A and B are shown apart, each in its own frame.
Chain A
Amino acid sequence: MTKIVVAVKYVPDATADRTFEADNTVDRENVDGLLSELDEYAVEQALQVVEAGEGEVTVLTVGPADAADAVRKALQMGADSGVHVEDDAIAGSDAFATSLVLAKAIEKLEYDMVFFGMASTDGSMGVVPTLVAERLGLPAVTYASEVSVDGDTVTIRRDSDAATQEIEASGKVVVSVTDQTGEARYPSFKGIMAAKKKPVEEWTLADLGIDASEVGLDNAWTKVESYTPRPPRTAGEIVTDEGDGGTKLVEFLASKKFV
């Protein structure tokens, strides 16, 4: 019986026009949100692990009311239950505060493993899995392109630029996975119907014994001073190849001194 907690994030849609609030935090109100694409791979891998044996998948998110959508999507994919930590004081939290809330919530759950996506598609720091592991005192095997579980031992393959590595850890383990682990499934109609009956717990900071002074924008360890939109690119020159496209391309490169 393997109990896996999958931590997921509700993020502004990467294909929408993402922007900021007046306080320089990410605008999460006026841009449609969804379950971070990179977290779908973590849900998928967790489901595959429990399907190969016996187990349960609990999906955990920290975020505003709308973040319930991310939990619902994971339940539709096949997760068994959900936990949504929501508290106004959490708004604007940095990676450290987020990892605190996640770690306290995970401690409150029964678990053998914790799965994460490699990074969020909004903040995209990619450090929350390792921070949660650090807080819980657990091994972290991160950026997996392949995950295999044998009893309480997790082995991952990691493909970095320099090498392909196999990394192993036992006992309670934190795992983060890349999009190379394989396509995430789409919710089936049956899955969508079943998700409506799955339990979702709603917790606040008080439920986790966290004081508001430990989280939120005012207690972040970094500060965004300003944000600037990228200036629009001026329209370039487009030519149609009439047998001389390659030569014209090189003429352009030469004009910019690349050749």
Chain B
Amino acid sequence: MSEVLVLIDALEGKVTKPSLELLTIARRIGEPSAVVFGDADTGVLSEYGAEKIYTFDDAAYSEFLVAPKADGVTQLVKDKNPAAVLVPSTTEGKEVAARVALRTESGLITDAVDVTVDGGTITTTQSVFAGNFTVAAQVTKGTPIIAVKPNSAAPEQAAGAGAVEAVSAEVAESSKTAKITSNKPKETSGRPELTEAAIVVSGGRGTGGDFSDVEALADALGAAVGASRAAVDSGWYPHTFQVGQTGKTVSPQLYIANGISGAIQHRAGMQTSKTIVAVNKDEEAPIFELVDFGVVGDLKQVLPQATEEIKKRKG
């Protein structure tokens, strides 16, 4: 079986859940080879099926934007001739993938939500036009390079050999041009990551700027918190939590929209959620066209009651 390169994303050594999803998807195509820049827990990678683990170690990977990493992945693609390259569909993952694709004359598909293999042909599924269509696509030139969105597969454990191979790749001087001069890690909220969460509870204009009821419901459900553009633009919640066309696209099992009218901007980011619930004062709000269940009412009354009821049921 041929190798499939998987670009691993790790935060302070901890491998992210989407990276494990990529390893699971890679096994549909061939033998996963994890590609690690800097530190990552190699034990977890082999538990999730990595047969090989290529490690790169150079200060340039954290001092400069993506170009040095693209040098490393390009070298691997040329040396190993893999069946495919999978990367997380993040800004960094997509930019590394784009540069590698151009350098190796390979087709690139971004934002895949599923990857299937039939007789060696890899087909991706993408959700496009604000989730109004799905598109099936294939790479027709070079090595298929595919950026896959979080939540596209359930990570499955599968023992892999996990043979670690340190790769020394030359970082071109021309790749050391976009210098990261300061890096301030964000404080974590302790909640699940927005794009990875099974449940998202979000708030909009109707919160009036007070997200405490939204956060309390989210915590009772073990959910991530999201916000509409109106709430973010009003300075009520940070932009990294924005769900919508210019923010995050989420596709959780359950999405609860509170005080969000459901403008196209917002729908673009959440309408592929499996189950949708909304609470809104305005019974004419377009969000109600999307919902499986809706409550016309004041979220300041409805949410605390729901939170209490969940706590009671959970005992």
A interface residues with partner B (beta carbon < 8 Å):
14-15, 18-20, 24, 38, 94-96, 99, 121-122, 124-127, 130-131, 134-135, 137-143, 145, 155, 159-169, 171, 178-180, 220-230, 233, 236-241, 243-250, 252-254, 256, 258-259
B interface residues with partner A (beta carbon < 8 Å):
11, 65-67, 91, 94-95, 97-99, 101-103, 105-111, 123, 128-142, 174, 177-186, 193-194, 199, 221, 239-240, 245-246, 253-254, 264, 268, 271-272, 275-277, 279, 283, 288-298, 301-310, 313-314
The answer for the CA separation of A227 and B128 in the assembled complex, in Å, is: 9
Residue from A24, A137, A166, A258 having most chain B Cβ neighbours under 10 A:
A258
The answer for the CA separation of A131 and B66 in the assembled complex, in Å, is: 12
- B178 pairs with A141, CB closer than 8 A: yes
Binding site of A, secondary structure by majority: helix, strand, loop or mixed? mixed
- B293 pairs with A236, CB closer than 8 A: yes
- A221 pairs with B65, CB closer than 8 A: no
Taking A127-B98, A240-B296, A245-B297 as contacts, is the C-beta distance between A169 and B178 under 8 angstroms?
yes
**Which residues of the other chain, B, contact A162 by a CB distance below 8 angstroms?**
11, 185-186
**Which residues of the other chain, B, contact A247 by a CB distance below 8 angstroms?**
305-306, 309
Tell me the minimal C-beta distance from B210 to chain A in angstroms: 17
**Which residues of the other chain, B, contact A130 by a CB distance below 8 angstroms?**
66, 95, 98-99
Contact check: which of B132, B305, B314 meets A230 at CB < 8 Å?
A: B132
The answer for the CA separation of A160 and B295 in the assembled complex, in Å, is: 34
28 A-B interface contacts by CB (under 8 A): A14-B130, A20-B133, A38-B246, A95-B108, A121-B245, A125-B111, A127-B108, A127-B110, A134-B98, A141-B178, A161-B193, A163-B183, A168-B181, A221-B101, A222-B137, A222-B138, A225-B138, A230-B132, A230-B271, A236-B288, A236-B292, A239-B295, A240-B283, A241-B296, A241-B301, A247-B309, A250-B313, A252-B292
- B131 pairs with A168, CB closer than 8 A: no
- A229 pairs with B132, CB closer than 8 A: yes
- B186 pairs with A161, CB closer than 8 A: yes
Taking A221-B105, A250-B310 as contacts, is the C-beta distance between A142 and B245 under 8 angstroms?
no
Contact check: which of B95, B101, B264 meets A142 at CB < 8 Å?
A: B95
Tell me the minimal C-beta distance from A31 to chain B in angstroms: 10
Residue on B nearest A130 in the bound complex, by CB: B95
The answer for the CA separation of A134 and B178 in the assembled complex, in Å, is: 12
- A246 pairs with B306, CB closer than 8 A: yes
The answer for the CA separation of A245 and B140 in the assembled complex, in Å, is: 53
- B180 pairs with A165, CB closer than 8 A: yes
Residue on A nearest B138 in the bound complex, by CB: A223
- A252 pairs with B108, CB closer than 8 A: no
The answer for the CA separation of A256 and B309 in the assembled complex, in Å, is: 16
Residue on B nearest A94 in the bound complex, by CB: B107
Contact check: which of B91, B130, B272, B293 meets A160 at CB < 8 Å?
A: B91
**Which residues of the other chain, A, contact B128 by a CB distance below 8 angstroms?**
124, 227
The answer for the CA separation of A134 and B70 in the assembled complex, in Å, is: 11
**Which residues of the other chain, B, contact A96 by a CB distance below 8 angstroms?**
101-102, 108
**Which residues of the other chain, B, contact A248 by a CB distance below 8 angstroms?**
295
**Which residues of the other chain, B, contact A250 by a CB distance below 8 angstroms?**
306, 309-310, 313
Tell me the minimal C-beta distance from B270 to chain A in angstroms: 12
- A223 pairs with B137, CB closer than 8 A: yes
Tell me the minimal C-beta distance from A77 to chain B in angstroms: 19
- B135 pairs with A226, CB closer than 8 A: yes
Residue on A nearest B124 in the bound complex, by CB: A222
- A241 pairs with B302, CB closer than 8 A: yes
The 5 residue pairs across chains A and B that have the minimum distance between CB atoms: A241-B297, A246-B305, A221-B107, A139-B177, A246-B306
The answer for the CA separation of A179 and B244 in the assembled complex, in Å, is: 12
The answer for the CA separation of A247 and B205 in the assembled complex, in Å, is: 23
- B277 pairs with A253, CB closer than 8 A: yes
The answer for the CA separation of A238 and B305 in the assembled complex, in Å, is: 17
Residue on A nearest B264 in the bound complex, by CB: A15
